[in-house]
Amino acid sequence: MNKIFFFGSSEYSIKVFENLDPELLNNFDIKYFTNNLESKIFDSKIYMKDKKYTCDLLLSVGFSEKILINNIKSAYGLFNIHQSLLPEYRGRHPVQAMIINGEKTYGCTLHHLDKNFDTGNIVKTLSKKYVNIPNEISVRKLIIQKSIELAEYLLNNYQNGSIKSLRQSKKPNFLAPERKPDDSQITEELDFVTIKNMTKALMGDSYRPFIIQDNKKIYIKNAFNYNLKNRNLIKFKSMSKVIYLEKY
């Protein structure tokens, strides 16, 4: 029975791994690895960078640490699922970056792991185009669904020689660096569209958009070009134009 390593360290990782086809998983000896002591995935082991590992296949999903590929001997390769359509939006927080930039096509990429982040050869992408700019919750549901499909595609095909890949030859137009909480501040220099997209992209408790008013942080859940009397709105200047922000 082939030994499969799953690497993950987030809620996203858990949702993907726990929804994989159980009959498919029964064909393998699955070992889970994480670097998150507070949220261990199933009966996972802690990944040790300096340790040497041997497996038949490795798949990383939402793993927040660089995997030292020289320390892992894998018969069929090392793979990762990234939450964007590579090479665009390489980096730690692609979903938020894409929504803030007003993208309408979202998806994820199965690619080989290499020595850099998100630069390995692309095996397969899955995507969906929205009519309007979606919010973070909708995109994350899509990403989980497509990641499950990509993981099952890999497990079903890695041994039969059908896994092909293409080099990422195009230089990306956009990157998605790690976001810090202070990156979510709404300022007067931001235009209305960017602010509106921020309210769609930053819905998590740890990075909600906010303004500073009277030295207090006020969290914002929506933005409007006009006043609505039945909403808890704050008048705010955006690039010298008055807009209205809805508080949480």
In one-letter notation, the amino acid at residue 97 is A
Predicted confidence (pLDDT) at residue 37 exceeds the cutoff of 80: no
Predicted confidence (pLDDT) at residue 110 exceeds the cutoff of 80: yes
Q: Could you tell me if 152 and 200 lie in one domain?
A: no
Backbone angles phi, psi at 16, to 5 degrees: -70, -50
Predicted structure pTM score: 0.94
Q: What is the pLDDT of residue 223?
A: 96
Strand partners, 244: 224, 235
Q: Could you tell me if 44 and 103 lie in one domain?
A: yes
Q: Does some domain include residue 173?
A: no
Q: Does some domain include residue 169?
A: no
**What is the mean pLDDT of the segment spanning 34-63?**
86
Query: What would the DSSP string read from start to end of 189-221?
Result: TS-HHHHHHHHHH--STTS--EEEETTEEEEEE
CATH of the domain at 214: 3.10.25.10
Q: Could you tell me if 235 and 201 lie in one domain?
A: yes
Q: Could you tell me if 126 and 192 lie in one domain?
A: no
CB atoms < 10 A from the CB of 10, how many? 16
Sign for the CA dihedral angle at 183, 188, 189, 194 comes to: positive
- On whether the CB atoms of residues 107 and 130 are closer than 8 A, the answer is no
Domain count of the fold of the chain? 2
Q: Could you tell me if 230 and 141 lie in one domain?
A: no
High-pLDDT (> 90) share of the chain, % = 85
Q: Could you tell me if 147 and 186 lie in one domain?
A: no
- Range of lowest pLDDT (41-55, 88-102, 111-125): 41-55
CB atoms < 10 A from the CB of 159, how many? 13
Domain of residue 224, residue span: 181-247
Q: Could you tell me if 152 and 190 lie in one domain?
A: no
- On whether the CB atoms of residues 143 and 186 are closer than 8 A, the answer is no
Q: Could you tell me if 15 and 110 lie in one domain?
A: yes
Read off the DSSP letter of residue 70.
G
Q: Could you tell me if 113 and 29 lie in one domain?
A: yes
